[in-house]
Structures are given as C-alpha cells and as structure tokens.
Amino acid sequence: MPDVIGLLAVWSIVISGGFLLLGVGLIRRGNVRWHHRAMLTATVFAALFLVFYLAKWALIGTTRYAGPEAWRAAYYFVLFTHTLLAAVNGPLALVVLYNAFKGRFDRHKAWARWTVPIWLYVALSGWIIYVVLRLYGEKADGIAF
Ligand code: HEM
C-alpha cells in the first residue's frame, strides 16, 4: 500500500511535468486551444500529486534518509528546495491560470516564465527523492519501505 501511494504521487508529478512541457511547446507553435488543454491537464495532475502526497504523509508518515553520509547534505538540499518550491508553485499556478482566464496574456506570460521552471524543478526533484528513498529510505520506526 505505501508503495502504491508513493508511486501514484511520483507518477502524478512526473506526468504533470510532461504536460507542462507539452503545453509550452504548443504555445510556441501558436496552438492556444491545445496549450490551454495541456496546461489544465498539468494542473489536474499537480493537484493529484498533492492529494497522494498528503495521503501518504497522513497514512504512512515520513521516510528517513539512511543512505551514505557523503550524500546526506545534497539529499536534504533537494528535499528542502522541493518542498519549499512545491508550496510556492500552487499559488503561482493559480495566478498564471487566473490571468489566462481573464485574458491578461502579458501578465500571464510574465508569471508563467517563473512558474514553469519552478514546476519542472518540483517534478524532477520529486522523482529524484522517490528514487533515493526507495534505495536508502527507512521509516522512523525502523521499517524500511
Ligand atoms: C498553469 C497553467 C499555464 C501555464 C504554466 C502556462 C504557461 C505559458 C507560458 C510559459 C507561455 C509563454 C510561452 C512563450 O512565450 O515562450 C504562455 C503563453 C500563453 N498562454 Fe499559457 N499557461 C497556462 C495556462 C493557460 C490557459 C488556461 C490559457 C487559455 C485560456 C493560456 C493561454 C495562453 C496564451 C494565449 C499565451 C500566448 C500569449 C501571448 O503570446 O501573448 N495559458 N503560457
């Protein structure tokens, strides 16, 4: 069960990142209709990520890093920036969407230029954290998962 929720969370954020890249590619070709659809899909998957992530946290708790000492600082740097930027990404995405739906495309683009790299970082680092914890994670009570 923990494996399934963790896997659902990580795939949600990876799929979200994929639709984000697709959406950027579509708007660069001037395809507003499919840009719109791809970005809404990316937003839905990012929201799903949040749901699965919180479910995992509530049902299973956190996983501790128990890997090589030499990597500990790098792992916690990635974990910290991932968590911080995931929290920032939510409101940023809403601002980007709000401006798009209001037809304020200059503001939409200006906010999107910050939001897209942050979103991609969250997706990529989420995947890295998942892989590291699969290899070197252990639960606080000592049960590895
Ligand atoms: C969170 C979701 C979204 C993100 C992250 C996003 C991202 C972006 C980015 C990065 C650009 C600039 C591309 C470039 O110039 O290189 C852009 C442009 C644009 N987006 Fe979005 N977008 C989102 C949702 C939407 C939605 C829902 C619509 C439609 C209602 C939309 C309509 C447009 C339009 C029309 C442009 C072109 C604006 C112009 O060139 O003047 N976007 N978007």
Output the CA 100–ligand 1 centroid distance in Å: 7
Q: How many domains does the chain have?
A: 1
- Residue 143 region, left (φ>0) first, then alpha (ψ -120 to 50), else beta? beta
Q: Which of 42, 26, 31, 40 is nearest to 120 (CA)?
A: 42
**Domain span at residue 27?**
2-139
Output the CA 95–ligand 1 centroid distance in Å: 12
Pocket test for ligand 1, best of 16, 22, 27 (most atoms within 8 A of CB): 27
Q: Which CATH number is 19's domain given?
A: 1.20.120.80
Q: Does 145 map to a domain? A: no
Beta bridge partners of 137: 65
* Residue 86 · residue 115 · CB < 8 Å: no
Query: Mind listing the pLDDT tens digit of every residue in the chain (145 residues)?
Result: 557 898 999 999 999 999 999 999 999 999 999 999 999 999 999 999 999 999 988 888 888 999 999 999 999 999 999 999 999 999 999 999 999 999 999 999 999 999 999 999 999 999 999 999 999 998 765 433 3
Output the CA 31–ligand 1 centroid distance in Å: 10
Per-residue model confidence (pLDDT) at position 57: 86
Which ligand 1 atom is nearest residue 101's CA?
Answer: 30
Q: Does 124 map to a domain? A: yes
Q: Does 144 map to a domain? A: no
